[in-house]
């Protein structure tokens, strides 16, 4: 069985990449909690947090810091939630970390709801968010 996360992280399926290095691929979530909700996936197959090697773990943390800075600058959220769901709660069956901008008075409980609502993101908006976030990240990298 092919791994969805591996296919996403290695660009075998379409994703809106905002940052990548040799070890991780960071792209916009197709079902975002808020605009600029980003996923960080290792390029090699790993399932759970305790399987991370030191190099991949450092790359994930560096990416999460870079993404947090860019999201704060671009969207000015009231906070950022960074989370990872393991075991049976890992819906991709591939390690992934969420970087989610948050705003005052939002209940994060809805992030974990089993609501079957359809998320249909406008492709134009995703591309624009991707462009803005990439530009902001590049400012930090230069």
Query: pLDDT tens-digit profile of 74-123?
Result: 999 999 999 998 888 888 889 999 999 988 887 666 555 545 444 445 77
Domain that holds residue 13: 4-141
Q: State the average pLDDT over residues 19-32.
A: 93
Give the whole-angstrom CA distance, residue 130 versus residue 98.
16
Say whether pLDDT at 41 is over 80: yes
pLDDT score at 74: 94
Where residue 68 sits, what CATH number does that domain have? 3.30.428.10
What is the residue whose two structure tokens read 């790359």?
59
- Mean pLDDT, the chain, integer: 88
**Which has the higher per-residue pLDDT, 34 or 50?**
50
Ramachandran angles phi, psi of 28, nearest 5°: -70, 135
Q: What are the beta bridge partners of residue 19? A: 26
pTM for the model = 0.88
Our count of domains for the chain comes to: 1
């Amino acid at each position: 069985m092919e791994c969805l996360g591996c296919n996403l992280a290695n660009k075998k399926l379409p994703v809106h990449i905002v940052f990548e290095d040799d070890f991780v691929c960071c792209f916009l979530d197709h079902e975002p909690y808020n605009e600029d909700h980003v996923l960080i996936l290792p390029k090699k197959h790993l399932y759970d947090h305790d399987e991370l090697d030191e190099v991949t773990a450092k790359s994930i943390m560096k990416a999460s810091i870079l993404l947090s800075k860019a999201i704060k600058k671009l969207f000015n959220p009231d906070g950022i939630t960074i989370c990872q769901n393991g075991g049976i709660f890992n819906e991709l069956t591939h390690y992934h970390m969420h970087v989610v901008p948050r705003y005052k008075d939002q209940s994060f409980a809805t992030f974990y709801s089993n609501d079957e609502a359809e998320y249909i993101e406008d492709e134009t908006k995703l591309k624009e968010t991707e462009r803005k976030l990439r530009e902001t990240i590049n400012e930090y990298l230069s």
